[in-house]
């Protein structure tokens, strides 16, 4: 039996992981689960999964959690401190599926106490890539990717030597606006942006997919997870989302991983590796798919992608700034305060302003990242 913590259990990835775990109850024992606001779902899942601890991040929901779980022996906790205390429990695996920067501190803390972090919360690597990887190395914690593209890369690298890898081909669906003209993009509504053509995900990542910031984030994620330079990562728009990514080797051979657009397989691989867990999800029907297509991304219309590359080239906390600006902008877009194209503009302008204020630095500890994140958010908020 492996012990597992699930951070962000009430979200899209969290709930997909619950489906996987329910098919393998003989192999995993659930320790702590955490939610942000959805206290009813958290309590329900705690009982269903026979979890030992349930933590609600929003402290105002603590009394409700207490009454929902009274009469059970499930221990409860709340707030940012509660998330950190959950991270400090020694487990075999911590599935990190909180969305955004909010997940950085608890996930970083888990690197010390968990043997493996199954990482969905990609913003950890965007905001604090270097420190995050160094911390994992320091404690001998394995990071297994849950993001489907990075799971694909990891799967395609099995049985091979990293140094024989020539290039990563990072696939992208292109999102709902792949074929929109710049003029059409000026009139994109929130409702349109929240409708991803292939994937069913949380709100933030759905908007990130529409702006292609998600692909930019994944580029940064790949840069930190695998031994490659920025030039060795190529984004390939593949609208069907069937090939989850590919590795090109030094002999010209390209290995791809294919699957249906659902997260179960990647989650199962991250928690089961080096084994594959049996899953009863619907199998891919290649005859139904019939065709796979590929095209180059348009970085003029999807400026977020080029901003991510720029942030990697700049180094230091440039990607921390980008991540903070994007989180502020996406939140504003979700509240109908700004337009779709404003998101990329705010990201670009925040980086410019951060540079002129010299707040892009080399972070030597998590506190540096936190300070830069706070300052970048303040800048971004003045831009709308």
Return the residue of 3, 4, 5, 13 that touches ligand NDP, per CB under 6 A: 13
Return the residue of 108, 126, 201, 321 that touches ligand NDP, per CB under 6 A: 201
Residues 176 and 194: their CA atoms lie apart, in Å, by: 9
Q: Are 68 and 91 in contact (CB under 8 A)?
A: no
Residues 355 and 338: their CA atoms lie apart, in Å, by: 24
Residue closer to ligand NDP (CB basis): 113 or 199:
199
Q: Are 105 and 80 in contact (CB under 8 A)?
A: yes
Q: Are 212 and 297 in contact (CB under 8 A)?
A: yes
Residue closer to Mg ion (CB basis): 123 or 147:
147
Q: Which does 116 bind (CB under 5 to 8 A by kind): Mg ion, ligand NDP, none?
A: none
Q: If DSSP codes are grouped into helix, strand and coil, which group holds residue 166?
A: strand
Residue 147 in the binding site for Mg ion (CB under 5 A): yes
Closest contact distance (angstroms) between CB of 263 and Mg ion is: 9
Two tokens at 160?
Answer: 């091979």
Return the residue of 18, 32, 33, 36 that touches ligand NDP, per CB under 6 A: 36
Residue 127 in the binding site for ligand NDP (CB under 6 A): no
* Cα–Cα separations (whole angstroms), residue 23 to 41, 91, 279: 20, 20, 7
Residue 102 in the binding site for ligand NDP (CB under 6 A): yes
Return the residue of 37, 60, 67, 164 that touches ligand NDP, per CB under 6 A: 37
Residue 147 in the binding site for ligand NDP (CB under 6 A): yes
Residue 208 in the binding site for Mg ion (CB under 5 A): no
Site for ligand NDP in 339-378 (CB under 6 A): none
Best CA proximity match to 372, nearest among 316, 308, 327, 326:
316
Residue 65 in the binding site for ligand NDP (CB under 6 A): no
* Cα–Cα separations (whole angstroms), residue 337 to 31, 109, 201: 40, 34, 22
Residue closer to Mg ion (CB basis): 28 or 302:
302
Residue 221 in the binding site for Mg ion (CB under 5 A): no
Closest contact distance (angstroms) between CB of 355 and ligand NDP is: 26
CA angle 20, 36, 88 (to 5 degrees): 75
Residues 372 and 201: their CA atoms lie apart, in Å, by: 28
Two tokens at 272?
Answer: 């089961």
Q: Which does 102 bind (CB under 5 to 8 A by kind): Mg ion, ligand NDP, none?
A: ligand NDP
The footprint of ligand NDP (CB under 6 A) covers: 8-14, 35-38, 57, 97-99, 102, 120-123, 147, 199, 201-205, 263
């Amino acid at each position: 039996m492996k012990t597992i913590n699930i951070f962000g259990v009430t979200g899209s990835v969290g709930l997909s992981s619950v489906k996987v775990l329910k098919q393998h109850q003989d192999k995993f024992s659930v320790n702590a689960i955490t939610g942000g606001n959805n206290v009813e779902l958290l309590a329900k899942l705690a009982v269903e999964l026979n979890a030992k601890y349930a933590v609600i991040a929003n402290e105002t929901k603590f009394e409700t959690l207490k009454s929902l779980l009274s009469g059970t022996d499930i221990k409860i906790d709340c707030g940012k401190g509660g998330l950190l205390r959950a991270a400090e429990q020694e487990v075999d695996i911590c599935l990190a599926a909180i969305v955004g920067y909010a997940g950085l501190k608890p996930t970083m803390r888990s690197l010390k106490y968990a043997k493996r972090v199954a990482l969905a919360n990609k913003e950890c690597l965007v905001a604090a890539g270097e420190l995050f990887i160094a911390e994992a190395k320091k404690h001998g914690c394995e990071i297994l990717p849950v993001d489907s593209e990075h799971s694909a890369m990891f799967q395609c690298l099995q049985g091979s030597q990293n140094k024989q890898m020539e290039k990563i081909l990072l696939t992208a669906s292109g999102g709902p606006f792949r074929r929109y003209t710049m003029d059409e993009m000026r009139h994109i509504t929130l409702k349109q942006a929240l409708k991803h053509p292939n994937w069913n995900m949380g709100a933030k990542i759905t908007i990130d997919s529409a702006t292609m910031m998600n692909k930019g984030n994944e580029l940064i994620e790949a840069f930190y997870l695998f031994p490659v330079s920025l030039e060795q990562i190529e984004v390939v728009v593949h609208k069907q989302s069937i090939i989850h990514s590919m590795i090109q080797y030094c002999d010209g051979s390209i290995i791809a991983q294919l699957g249906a657009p659902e997260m179960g397989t990647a989650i199962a691989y991250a928690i089961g590796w080096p084994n594959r867990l049996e899953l009863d999800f619907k199998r891919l029907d290649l005859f139904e798919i019939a065709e796979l297509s590929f095209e180059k991304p348009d970085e003029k219309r999807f400026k977020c992608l080029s901003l991510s590359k720029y942030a990697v080239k700049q180094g230091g906390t440039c990607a921390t700034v980008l991540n903070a600006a994007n989180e502020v902008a996406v939140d504003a877009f979700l509240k109908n305060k700004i337009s779709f194209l404003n998101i990329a503009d705010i990201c670009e302008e925040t980086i410019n302003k951060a540079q002129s204020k010299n707040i892009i630095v080399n972070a030597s500890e998590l506190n540096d990242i936190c300070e830069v994140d706070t300052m970048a958010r303040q800048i971004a908020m003045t831009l709308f």
